[in-house]
Structure 1
Amino acid sequence: MTLWVNFSLNEISILVLNTAAYLLILFLPKKLTPQVRTLSLMWGFTIGVIFDFTIGGGLVDFYMVNDTNHFEAFDFLYYFLFAPFGYFFFYGYEMVGINKKTFIPYVLAWSIVGVAAQWGFTLLEIITFQKGYKVPYSFPVFLVTQTLTGIYLECVKSRQPIMTAPKKGVHKYVLRRKHA
């Protein structure tokens, strides 16, 4: 394993994107319980790596990560970009209040986000397609992964609370009429 073939746009982009994503997680209000927060990061990382190893570099090798088909240190940092996507999916799911009627549009929206991110990664030379693979081919993959993520989150929600309890001493002010 090499550290990197050459330090260029893709390595710089990976550093910047990781820094931005994890800072955003750090500064967003802590709405998810610590257990679910950790679970969302692990889920995002795991499902991303599984599919990336399947279609990206492992079994069918449709794209190259970074500068070479051989594993390099910055590939690890690229894989750490998957974790925040899991967190943001869970976070948005709860903040928006996804239900049976809004599940499909939410999954479609996140699938589009995934395709857009992959397209951005190609522009930044983080991934390079091979064997005739094109960005739109990833849409069904993202539909599957986002659907599995939503189903998984629903299973977690059925077993434990997802959201943190409101802090004591924080009151919501409600306008009320006085009855005469």
Structure 2
Amino acid sequence: MRNLVYDHRFNANEWFVILLLIAGLAVTFSLPRRFPMKQSAVFFIFGLFGGLFLDHTISVYPIDFYDVNDASRYEWMDFLTYLMYSPFSYLYAYCLDKWKIRPAHVPLYIIAWGLISTGLEGLAVLAGVFHYKNGYGIFFSFPIYLIMNSFYTMLLYAIQGLPRRENV
């Protein structure tokens, strides 16, 4: 195991989280309203919960594949990191609905968002948001995003109903 050096100053990792959160919220709130408020809230909460659940599943003892931000322990900035997932969760639902992705094309949609998510995670690693350890690497994240996006798509269909056959 390599030694991880944590930077405890307010710098790149905090700015990355704050700017990505602001940018995601700005895009989200600039879009025309597409869903009822309760559905929108569910989409935002799913992003927050998904980040918290997965990170606290694979980033804590005994698995402990990575640390978030400036320390191994949970800090207030970590909450903003998880909140950062919320606008992207909403955008996933928004685009799926707006573009009327046919069920036959949903796997491509899931893969595209998996690539986007992995790319954003790569940028987050460069900014110092995530610190991999115990053999973990970004290549493990891609299948996790595929699984998460698949569950999320099922949730969206459960909330909104499956696309009708005539729309397929």
TM-score range, shorter chain: 0.7 to 0.9
Alignment identity in percent?
25
Check conservation: 1:114, 1:142, Cα contact below 8 A. yes
Residue among 61, 71, 79 paired with 2:64: 61
Q: Which residue in 2 is equivalent to 1:36?
A: 39
- Runs ≥4 in structure 1, deviation > 4 angstroms? none
| 1:25-174 → structure 2 map (5 Å cutoff) | 25-57=28-60, 59-158=62-161
Aligned-residue offset at 1:80: 0.5
**Which protein has the larger Cα radius of gyration, Structure 1 or Structure 2?**
1
Check conservation: 1:53, 1:59, Cα contact below 8 A. no
RMSD, aligned α-carbons: 1.6
Q: Which amino acid aligns with 2:53?
A: I
Residue among 14, 21, 27 paired with 1:18: 21
Q: Which amino acid aligns with 2:24?
A: A
Deviates more, 1:57-66 or 1:42-51: 57-66
TM-score, length basis structure 2: 0.87
Aligned residues: 156
**In structure 2, how many angstroms separate the alpha carbons of the residues matched to 1:133 and 1:145?**
18
Q: Which residue in 1 is equivalent to 2:166?
A: none
SS at the partner of 1:102? helix
Check conservation: 1:66, 1:127, Cα contact below 8 A. yes
Deviation string, structure 1 residues 141-162 (Cα, Å, up to 9, x no partner):
1111000000111111129xxx
SS at the partner of 1:43? helix
**In structure 2, how many angstroms separate the alpha carbons of the residues matched to 1:101 and 1:58?**
39
Segments of 5+ residues of structure 1 without an aligned counterpart are 160-180
SS at the partner of 1:60? coil
TM-score, length basis structure 1: 0.82
Q: Which has the higher helix share?
A: 2
Check conservation: 1:48, 1:82, Cα contact below 8 A. yes
Q: Which residue in 2 is equivalent to 1:164?
A: none
